[in-house]
């Protein structure tokens, strides 16, 4: 469950914190490749049906 009390403001008050933040920001994200051939038409149909059922509640 999401919470609205999360504080998005933060302060980098040490050199180590700044270096760590800089390293995280500058590191490229690795993409995840999805093999679309693994999904059959029947599985896709069932997935759509289940999603509709969940969203209709």
Which residues neighbour 18 within 8 Å (Cβ) at sequence distance 6 or greater? 12
Q: What is the pLDDT of residue 43?
A: 87
Contact assessment for residue 12 and residue 21, using Cβ atoms and an 8 Å cutoff = yes
Helix then strand then coil, in percent of the chain rounded to 5, is 55, 0, 45
Instruction: Report pLDDT digits (tens) over 46-56.
Output: 999 999 999 98
Q: What is the pLDDT of residue 52?
A: 93
* Domain layout of the chain by residue ranges: 15-56
Q: What is the pLDDT of residue 16?
A: 92
Q: Dihedral angle at the C-alpha atoms of 12, 26, 5, 51, nearest 10 degrees? A: -170
pTM strictly above 0.85 = no
Instruction: Report pLDDT digits (tens) over 1-50.
Output: 555 666 677 788 899 989 998 998 898 888 888 777 788 888 889 999 99
């Amino acid at each position: 469950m999401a919470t609205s009390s999360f504080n998005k403001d933060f302060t980098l008050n040490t050199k180590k914190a700044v270096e760590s933040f800089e390293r995280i920001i500058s590191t490229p994200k690795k993409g995840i490749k999805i093999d679309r051939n693994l999904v059959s038409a029947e599985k896709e149909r069932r997935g759509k049906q289940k999603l509709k059922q969940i969203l209709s509640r």
